[in-house]
Amino acid sequence: MTGTLLVVDVGNTNIVVGGYRGEKLLVELRFSTDPSRTIDEYEAMLRVLLHQKLGAELNVTGAIVSSVVPPITSTMVRLLKERFGVEALIVGPGIKTGLSVRVPDPVSVGADRIVNAVAAKNLFGTPALVIDFGTATTFDYVSAAGAYEGGVIAPGPMVALESLVRNTAKLPRIEFSWPKTVVGNSTVTQMQSGAVVGYLALVDGLIDRMLKETG
């Protein structure tokens, strides 16, 4: 039986697991990031979900982990080795990705941003601007030569909205949805305009500035 490669992306909010056979994505799983969970809990969740999706096809023969949450990185590495019998490749300094990182401190670039840049380079070619909406929204520039040249980190849209609600006395929690008009006629619609349309303006503005700066 051909083996399955597990690819694990540990983010600040979610952990996403993909199962590949060759170049084919067989399964994609998503569960919340929680450093307090034990290795047994993560194994139970992962095995149940993988069995539901793959059934008897489950035969893990390799794993790659990209993580921005160090405590969970070690948990995942132990889980894959002790419970699935595979040594995980960790995305980080020293591994060959085919991507040159041209910043003063390459180690400071998050693993998630490296794999995003590698994916963009391989799937779409370069130059490329890669935008990833998560807990933070990151903008990464890959030059025509295929090198990572830097980028931008901004608060993610949900983080920005949560901060607004948490740090004001009277503003309510709202649904993150597109308002009918930019000029709102209530507190809720005005907040939706700021959170959604305002964030779009931030994204568009940064794209325009990055394009002008990089040529």
How far from each other are the two terminal CA atoms of the chain, in whole angstroms?
49
SS3 77: helix
Positive or negative, the Cα torsion across 152, 156, 125, 9?
positive
Report how far residue 127's alpha carbon sits from residue 144's, in angstroms, rounded to the nearest whole number: 4
Q: Which one of 34, 105, 112, 132 is the catalytic residue? A: 112
Phi-psi region of 153 (alpha: psi -120 to 50; beta: other; left: phi over 0): beta
Quick one: DSSP state of residue 192?
H
Active site residue 204: no
Whole-number Cα distances in Å, 141 to 115, 193, 212: 13, 28, 12
- Provide φ and ψ at 52, rounded to 5°: -60, -40
- DSSP β-bridge partners for residue 60: 4
C-beta separation of 91 from 8 below 8 A: no
Report how far residue 155's alpha carbon sits from residue 33's, in angstroms, rounded to the nearest whole number: 18
Catalytic residues: 112
